[in-house]
Structure 1
Amino acid sequence: MTTMPSSQPSQSPPAGQEPPRRATPLWRNRDYNILWVSRSLTEVGFNASTMAFPLLVLAVTRSPGTAGLVQGVNAAAQLLAGLPGGTLVDRWNRKAVMLTCEAVRAVALLWLVRMIWTGTAAVWHMAVVAAVLGVCSALFDPAEEASLPHVVPPEQLATAVSMNHARNSIGHLVGTALSGALFGVKRVLPFLADALTHLVSFGLLLFVRLPKREGRAAGAPPANLRREALEGLKWVWGHRLIRVTAMCAVAVNFLFQVLYLVIIVVAQQSGVPSAQIGVMAAMFGAGGLLGALAAPRLYARCGPRVSVVLTFWTMAVLAPVTLTTGNGIVMGLVLAGIAFLAPTANTAVSTYQLLTTPDHLRGRLSGVIGLVAGISTALGPVVGGLLMECAGARWAILLSAFGIAVLAVTVALNPTLRGFGESPALPPAEDGPGRAGAAPGAR
């Protein structure tokens, strides 16, 4: 909306009507900034301990298979708890869920720190902690995402979502860089750092103002986890545009995993030095971070539908470029270009889903999307590896690019996505309006 030039007299609102209130800038939004900073800290700690877990298992057991098993326990716990976790988030107080998860994660990590410090850490200790962290993530992530429309007004939601993508990229870059350095000094340090980030996050989250959630309505059927989870699945599947956009997001993330693995292998087979391969990985992360920072403007300029289509076509065009060069820097630039537009597409999809989904279903929406996205992310490297085994790395890239192009055409012509450019109205919230400040009764 354009503003009236200062040289012209301002117009007073009609009698009895309040003047429109300008939304507080996002950087001055107290509650959003608390959520952003607290989650940024835990992202750094999470990535530091995630990188250190296989190193710790190898140091204790010298078994790569066991190291992979412990990592798999974390991923499996998060996937298995994803759908019921989102259902419980819709049932419980979301602030209490986030605080409890942070406290449990801190206690579990401090217990592991004690075991490492005393030299008694065993594989089962690490597996238990990995499982606890996975379950807590399955609860915390939907609770935070479902809370976002309560601390950010609808017109700023896309910017907030893109800044959350930037936060995740920053946490990955800083956390992985710290992990090796801390582990090299003392094995216990990455896990101690992760525990401290959760303790600080717990303290910060105490000051977030979220609306109180009302109890179950009189005459409502008793709580049933299975029925409520199915209700969430039916909502996602029954809302055609949400279903299609969710499939687009899952496809983008899946294809990223396939291409990333295949391009790294092509670089290795082309004789790219290991140091340049490390730079390629860093450029991929930097591309995602820059893309997240640019996402609000790109989203506003392109609109939701074009953002998704453009992401697919960028991947399809850039991927084959890696076959024409053996230079690691050029390949890194291709990876950065592929990663650059993904946050804009994810911002478009996530913003639409949050604005369209009623508040009492947002946790389940996040749980369903997280479950499907987690499966696709896990399958991406497997499919990439099978493509390389069956057709070779170079053909794997060409086949992947062709598949992406087919998806891009499908998305561009899909009649359902023609309405994706329209901004949905914010559905009425049962327990408080979406706003930038605290609702009455917030705590």
Structure 2
Amino acid sequence: MTVPLRRNRNYTLLWAGQAVSEVGFSTTMIAFPLLVLGITGSPAASGLVLGADAAAQLIAGLPAGALVDRWDRKRIMLWCEAVLAIAVGSLALALWWNTATLGHMVAVAVIMGICRALFEPAEDASLVRLVSDEQLATAISLNTARSSIGQMAGTALGGVLFAIGRMVPFVVDMITHLISLVTLAFLRIPAREVKPGPIGNIGREMAAGLRWVWGHRHVRVTALCAVSLNFFFNAFYIVIIVLADSRGVPAGQIGLMAAMLGVGGVLGALIAPTLHRVLNPWVSIMAVFWMVTLLTPITIFAPNGYVLGALFAGMAFLAPTANTTINTHQLLLTPDHLRGRLSGVMNVFVGAAAAAGPALGGVLVEFVSGDAAVLWCTAGMAAISLLVTFSPVLRNYPIESGKDVSDGRERPVPGPAQR
């Protein structure tokens, strides 16, 4: 008999520890640019620190996925939390001693990016071994809700803590990583056979991960479509902030607008397991593309930040359902020895879209009006949505989401009628 997730000791430990850790991380991400600006007085330096974090995670993505598949995944997560606690703790001490430098802050940001590049694939690959196949979709949606809640809570907390003292957000972040480290220490992940080859083989192992993603058409097509939508949405996000500011929308309302993305994500994650069961996979994927596409041009007519926030919540609401459908299929389809690389490849794709999208948005608002920039982003989203709608690969997306081949035996993944 399958144990309910709420009584699954290992999943609960992992979820709770990471919920705390993600609050600390989001706290630091808000405090970091404020700290750099306060010490250096340079907006460019603030961008350098945040850019170092993003670049480190992007560059480390492919090798990190390969290392997750050749090393013990629990140890990877433990070491990542320990190193993160030491890194942010060192910055807190430097601030206490008034010796913090730009170089030190860049180094901490790089460490944070590398640790996330390692931790996320390790957690994704471990999740399949902690819950049953039937519970995987619910576990993925709860993890999505956890991330959204952590981001909202940490974002709100970061500014308050920074106002109390520059070092306070980093002390809190250090404590959250230590809490997560303790919970991970009690985590029991079923053993797997690991036979790491020579370190010189890492390039071939990375290439094997890329070949796996590219060689499976459902994985390949959904990845390309999702990354393309993220690219245009990130461009639109920058455009709408500039447009709102130019129309005199108060900064507080702009902040609320951004927070509503998280609210929509949390609400969507709570209903995602139900929608995942009742909706055809193609419908669940197609719905989020069209929801974003149809709501985007309406932002042109939004009279204030509150309406913009409601639109943003609507855009985020169906995303967890699509993510649950796609991620469940991918994790169950992928052999255990390739799951780290699958996650690493996907993180690189998403990271590239997150980096390139804002650049496109900046170029658009530089050369065309805000309204025109929104319409250009809408056109890109509409093109991707049409591709999703008429793609024969996605129209025939398997209801039997995949096969768990981690132990060498093929087991059909339960479809909606079986759950």
TM over 0.5: yes
Return the offset for 1:431. 9.1
Return the offset for 1:216. 2.5
Task: Please say if 1:348 is aligned against 2:325.
Answer: yes
Cross-structure match for 1:323: 300
Q: Please give the alpha-carbon distance, in whole angstroms, between the structure 1 residues aligned to 2:123 and 2:11.
A: 10
Return the offset for 1:24. 1.4
Contact 1:292 1:344 in 2 (8 A): yes
1:222/1:316 CA distance change after superposition, 3 Å: closer
Provide Cα deviations, 1:203-239, integer angstroms capped at 9, x if missing partner. 100111112221429xx88861011111111111111
Q: Please give the alpha-carbon distance, in whole angstroms, between the structure 2 residues aligned to 1:427 and 1:433.
A: 6
Contact 1:358 1:429 in 2 (8 A): yes
Cross-structure match for 2:87: 108
- Of residues 157, 163, 171 in structure 1, which corresponds to 2:150? 171
Cross-structure match for 2:17: 38
Which aligned pairs between 1:284-295 and structure 2 lie closer than 5 A?
284-295=261-272
- Of residues 164, 169, 181 in structure 2, which corresponds to 1:190? 169
Which aligned pairs between 1:258-273 and structure 2 lie closer than 5 A?
258-273=235-250
- Of residues 140, 164, 167 in structure 1, which corresponds to 2:119? 140
Return the offset for 1:39. 0.8
- Of residues 237, 240, 257 in structure 2, which corresponds to 1:280? 257
Amino acid at match of 2:240: I
Amino acid at match of 1:251: S
Contact 2:141 2:321 in 1 (8 A): yes
Provide Cα deviations, 1:356-403, integer angstroms capped at 9, x if missing partner. 110000000000000111010111111112122222210111122222
Cross-structure match for 1:299: 276
Contact 2:213 2:220 in 1 (8 A): yes
Query: SS of 1:271's equivalent?
Result: coil
Q: After superposing the two structures, state which structure 1 stretch, 156-165 or 259-268, moved more.
A: 259-268
Task: Please say if 1:419 is aligned against 2:396.
Answer: yes
Q: After superposing the two structures, state which structure 1 stretch, 260-269 or 354-363, moved more.
A: 260-269
Cross-structure match for 1:365: 342
Q: Please give the alpha-carbon distance, in whole angstroms, between the structure 2 residues aligned to 1:333 and 1:215.
A: 48
Q: Please give the alpha-carbon distance, in whole angstroms, between the structure 2 residues aligned to 1:376 and 1:35.
A: 28
Q: Please give the alpha-carbon distance, in whole angstroms, between the structure 2 residues aligned to 1:181 and 1:433.
A: 51
- Of residues 355, 362, 374 in structure 2, which corresponds to 1:378? 355
Aligned residue pairs, count: 411
Provide Cα deviations, 1:416-435, integer angstroms capped at 9, x if missing partner. 1123142234332249999x
Amino acid at match of 1:199: L
1:333/1:204 CA distance change after superposition, 3 Å: same
Taking only the aligned residue pairs, the percentage that are identical comes to 51
1:223/1:214 CA distance change after superposition, 3 Å: farther
Amino acid at match of 2:224: M
Cross-structure match for 2:187: 208
TM-score by length of 2: 0.94
Q: 5+ residue gaps in structure 2?
A: 412-419
Compare the two structures and name the one with the higher helix fraction.
2
TM-score by length of 1: 0.89
Return the offset for 1:259. 2.1
Task: Please say if 1:77 is aligned against 2:52.
Answer: no
Q: Please give the alpha-carbon distance, in whole angstroms, between the structure 1 residues aligned to 2:33 and 2:227.
A: 27
Provide Cα deviations, 1:121-180, integer angstroms capped at 9, x if missing partner. 111111111111111111111000000110111111111111111111011111011111
Larger gyration radius, structure 1 or structure 2: 1
Amino acid at match of 2:334: T
- Of residues 102, 105, 117 in structure 1, which corresponds to 2:96? 117
| Aligned residues: CA RMSD | 1.9
Return the offset for 1:270. 2.5
Contact 2:329 2:402 in 1 (8 A): no
Amino acid at match of 1:41: V
Q: 5+ residue gaps in structure 1?
A: 1-20, 435-443
Cross-structure match for 2:414: none
